[in-house]
Amino acid sequence: MTDFPYGSIGDFRSKALNDGQDAATDLERLRHYAAGTNPANHAYITISGSLPHDGKEQLPMAGPLAGVPYACKDVFETKSMITTAGSRALADYQPKTDAKAVESLERAGAVLIGKTNMHEFCYGITGKNPVYGTPVNPHDPSRLAGGSSSGSAVSVATGSAVFALGSDTGGSVRVPAALCGLVGLKPTYGLISTKGMIPFCWTLDHAGIMARSCLDTASVLQVLAGWNDATKGRGETRLERRLQALSTEFLIGKRIGIPRRYFFDNLDDEIASAVEKTLLFCQEHGAELVEVQTPDMTHVRPASLAIQLVEALSWHGPRMDENAHIYGDDVRNGLVQGQFILGEHYVQSLRLMELKRQEFAACFKSIDIMITPTTPVIAPELSTQSVSAGVEGELVGNALARYTCVFNLTGQPALTIPCGLHSSGLPMGLQIIGKPYEDLSVLSIGHVLETAGALGWIQPISGGPSE
């Protein structure tokens, strides 16, 4: 496995198709690596007890993800492993079927390494979990990995998985991806099925993808969205070939919206500088930078939380009647708040969501994509309760989701991609937002910026399967 310790989908697929037995051995080593590092990084809740063929036989050679190891957030139901959603309340829950996304990946040949750790029931952007341990940032174990899909980010960043599934209700894929130096995609609402995914908030939940490149992310999205030849064939897909053929010429004439108000306010200076550098690169290669008027964001976060708490309580309420005592304190206390949100407040929040969809759609009439920072701060320390990035004493959760949660309301595709290292040695993230169902355009621009060296995955200084 030392020949590609941080291999791509293409690396693992090629090996599976050319030497299935050797590929199976590599997968078994990865499983042992995941198990060996888990006590320190808390990436996984459950690791597969054995993999298909257990490293002793040749892997089946079929599908665009043949032999590719992946992890999935423990909110996706799996018939081969328990599904806990990061909670003692579901510690013994054994689904009878796989989630639709898991089923699609298996059909495409991907191999599940394990179920990843998370903020209990997706209730939190920090990723803290007192039951299964808090996943730590691979770039600095004294820092948060972000959440709620925290373990998914750690599994990919440390190399035990090539990609991972997560869920994103207000930034829960993009935030941990940004803090851990990864690519993270929240696709257009509904593009990836959430069937078989334990819900947090039906209206805002998106299934998403984390990987180390836009190309790998696109390869997985093709399978999960059911595009074209996604579950057939033995080698590169047409989508992969299409992306690989792109160059910086793709940027010529692209209109990039810059919403300065709000999205560039109260922002870490180094993150702001990194985003500006990328915008300048795009402009130098033919893109047009367009200053756009940011819609009023005053009530976005409160509306998002109101929708989340009401819908989460509707699922958890009956279960809490008997099991409230085994819920974590933060989850239980938060869900209780949902009881005090009036029906009219919930409806007003849904109306605001529709208003933001209309306002952002109007913004996008004059632009192709929008670029913002992903988070206003780098990964906070594990014990941090509040941060200061222009807003004194802002709660960590509010700060980390400040630039991401509105795009769960609008349902637009939003991609985070690493835009360099902070002077602290921690990754910084840039967010690319597109029009609904133009996910491929967003990934294409991300891929062009990666291959040109303007952006891209940041490997932790230490760690990795080969060590």
Catalytic residues: 73, 148, 172
Region of 221 (left: φ > 0; alpha: ψ -120 to 50; beta: rest) is: alpha
- SS3 state at 33: helix
Nearest to 43 by CA among 414, 402, 416, 465: 465
Angle, helices 329-337/300-323, rounded to nearest 10 degrees: 110
Alpha-carbon span 205 to 170, nearest angstrom: 8
Of all residues in the chain, what percent are helix, strand and coil, respectively (each to 5)?
40, 15, 45
- Would you state the torsion angle of the CA atoms of residues 163, 167, 173, 175, taken in this order, to the nearest 10 degrees? -150
E-strand stretches of 52-181: 69-73, 111-116, 136-137, 140-144, 163-168
Alpha-carbon span 18 to 373, nearest angstrom: 41
Nearest to 110 by CA among 135, 83, 78: 78
